């Protein structure tokens, strides 16, 4: 990687670390509070993306690119500068710390909400004692009236982080950094298999949004990278049981990777394999990791039920459709939002099935189709937070899908939500500003689709 580009990426992260102290939800009052963060994240991501796109456009130039080890060191440095700092703006990590403490002490994070624990309503002395020990964390958890939303594999990760460093965000950072390094290693393996230079892993490893979402704001979605990539590679290699176990773990972090199952089934059908044992392994493992969460969803304190029914942010088309349905049906917004959520989920599932119908040609084809599933889930989701891009960015980097990598540049616009909400302009954000991150990505995808169709027609003429 160019020395100047690397220096800019490192300097931008250091600048963000310097600017981040005291940057919280409550502290943000106007645009000036978040403008440096948005500008640094978007500008540095744009520079890195343009640089990589230019050298990839000239194969000879790509082959002469710097050795990948300096790139590895750069990405590691970009992450290490965030250790011993308070995560800026986001506070989901407080929930991780509480859940991890509960799991490490042998208690269920679904049994009681943080609000119940904080007020001594649990009725169990060990739980009350844990609440007293972690009171400074407990009182900072967002939506404390709800129980945990995270499945079993994520809970095990939180518990492991608590064992390493109790009540410490750096314990989470360390665990997530290990997962990130694993993602990089698997990406190297995939690039080797695809006969592509390892330098291309910089599209993920040195991506400012990935670093910010993982090392800075500490989001659990980072754990999906190594699991999803490994599951796809294991499927390609016909290692059925390993693939089943990895996919089950991914489902245990965030539920949506279950939509990759039809694609994996297609790989095995193409290879004339019928892995009954692997199906059994996946079913049992996924059930163990999900059952406690689903069992708790029947409670009126369930975080999963609340998220599925109400969470909506940074998705302007979803907001527009809700308003349109309200006008047409004359019904209340609850019914409209619920209907659209069912349609979104059903559409994502339909895409997952449809793209699995055609024979898979090679590893790139498999990764590309997995990318379609992950990106579809993201862009159909009623909530499109920047860290959710970790669902598809590792896959986009592996196959160099430039339109979807552009999301690294546009998604920081989400942080304009905080000053706009403080100024009473939440509706303006949801109906207008929230389209800014998606529109350029969709436009590029559409242009590329049209261009590919024209090229195909010309070749057949």
> What is the per-residue pLDDT across 45-92, written as a single tens digit (0 to 9) for each?
999 999 998 888 776 666 655 577 889 999 999 999 999 999 999 999
- C-alpha 227/C-alpha 234 separation (Å) is 10
Q: Which of the 8 DSSP states describes residue 213?
A: I
Pair 212, 16: CB distance under 8 Å: yes
Note whether residue 295 is domain-resident: yes
- C-alpha 287/C-alpha 295 separation (Å) is 11
Note whether residue 140 is domain-resident: no
Burial 181-198 (b: 16+ CB within 10 A, else e): bbbbebbbebbeebebbb
Sign of CA dihedral 362, 363, 365, 370: positive
What range does the domain containing 441 cover? 3-111+147-460
Torsion angle (degrees, nearest 10) of CA 326, 329, 333, 335: -150
Residue 215's contacts (CB-CB under 8 Å, 6 or more residues apart) are 78, 79, 80, 82, 83, 173, 176, 177, 180
Burial class (CB in 10 A: 0-12, 13-18, 19+), 374: buried
The count of other CB atoms within 10 Å of the CB of residue 203 is 26
**In the chain, how many domains are there?**
1
Question: In whole angstroms, how far apart are CA 382 and each of 145, 309, 329, 342, 388?
Answer: 22, 10, 20, 11, 12
Helix (H, G, I), strand (E, B) or coil at 147: coil
> Which residues are 132's β-sheet partners?
none
Q: Looking at residue 158, what is its pLDDT? A: 97
Burial class (CB in 10 A: 0-12, 13-18, 19+), 76: middle
Question: Euclidean distance between the first and final Cα of the chain, in Å?
Answer: 41
The count of other CB atoms within 10 Å of the CB of residue 298 is 9
Residues in the chain where the model's pLDDT stays below 70 = 1, 59-66, 122-123, 329-335, 456, 459-461
Q: Looking at residue 349, what is its pLDDT? A: 96
Note whether residue 314 is domain-resident: yes
Note whether residue 186 is domain-resident: yes
Q: Which of the 8 DSSP states describes residue 214?
A: I
Note whether residue 135 is domain-resident: no
The count of other CB atoms within 10 Å of the CB of residue 202 is 29
């Amino acid at each position: 990687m160019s020395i100047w580009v690397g220096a800019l990426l490192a300097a931008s992260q250091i600048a963000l670390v310097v600017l981040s102290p005291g940057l919280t939800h409550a502290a943000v009052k106007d645009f000036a509070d978040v403008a440096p963060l948005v500008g640094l994240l978007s500008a540095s991501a744009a520079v890195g993306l343009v640089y990589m796109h230019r050298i990839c456009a000239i194969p000879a130039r790509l082959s002469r690119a710097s050795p990948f080890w300096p790139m590895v060191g750069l990405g590691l440095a970009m992450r290490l500068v965030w250790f011993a700092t308070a995560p800026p703006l986001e506070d989901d990590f407080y929930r991780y710390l509480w859940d991890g403490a509960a799991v490490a002490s042998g208690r269920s994070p679904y049994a009681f909400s943080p609000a119940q624990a904080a007020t001594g309503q649990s009725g169990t002395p060990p739980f009350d004692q844990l609440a007293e020990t972690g009171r400074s964390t407990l009182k900072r958890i967002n939506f404390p009236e709800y129980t945990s939303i995270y499945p079993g594999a994520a809970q095990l990760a939180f518990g492991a982080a608590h064992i390493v460093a109790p009540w410490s965000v750096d314990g989470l950072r360390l665990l997530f950094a290990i997962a990130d390094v694993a993602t990089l290693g698997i990406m190297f393996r995939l690039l080797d298999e695809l006969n592509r230079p390892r330098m291309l892993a910089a599209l993920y490893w040195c991506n400012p949004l990935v670093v910010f979402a993982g090392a800075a704001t500490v989001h659990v979605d980072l754990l999906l990278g190594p699991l999803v990539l490994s599951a796809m590679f294991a499927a390609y290699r016909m290692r059925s049981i390993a693939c089943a176990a990895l996919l089950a773990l991914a489902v245990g972090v965030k539920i949506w990777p279950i939509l990759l199952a039809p694609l994996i089934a297609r790989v095995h059908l193409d290879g004339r394999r019928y892995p009954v044992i692997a199906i059994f392994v996946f079913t049992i493992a996924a059930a163990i990791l999900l059952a406690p969460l689903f069992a708790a969803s029947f409670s009126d304190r369930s975080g999963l039920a609340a998220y599925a029914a109400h969470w909506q942010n940074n998705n302007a088309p979803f907001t527009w459709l809700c308003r349109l349905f309200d006008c047409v049906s004359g019904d209340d917004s609850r019914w409209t939002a619920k209907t659209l959520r069912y349609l979104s989920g059903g559409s994502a599932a339909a895409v997952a099935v449809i793209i699995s119908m055609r024979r898979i040609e090679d590893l790139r084809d498999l990764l590309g189709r997995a990318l379609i599933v992950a990106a579809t889930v993201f862009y159909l989701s009623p909530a499109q937070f920047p860290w959710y891009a970790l669902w598809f960015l590792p896959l986009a980097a592996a196959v160099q899908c430039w339109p979807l990598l552009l999301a690294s540049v546009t998604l920081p616009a989400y942080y304009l939500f905080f000053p706009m909400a403080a100024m009473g302009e939440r509706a303006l954000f949801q109906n207008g500003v929230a389209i800014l991150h998606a529109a350029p990505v969709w436009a590029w995808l559409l242009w590329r689709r049209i261009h590919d169709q024209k090229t195909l027609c010309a070749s057949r003429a």
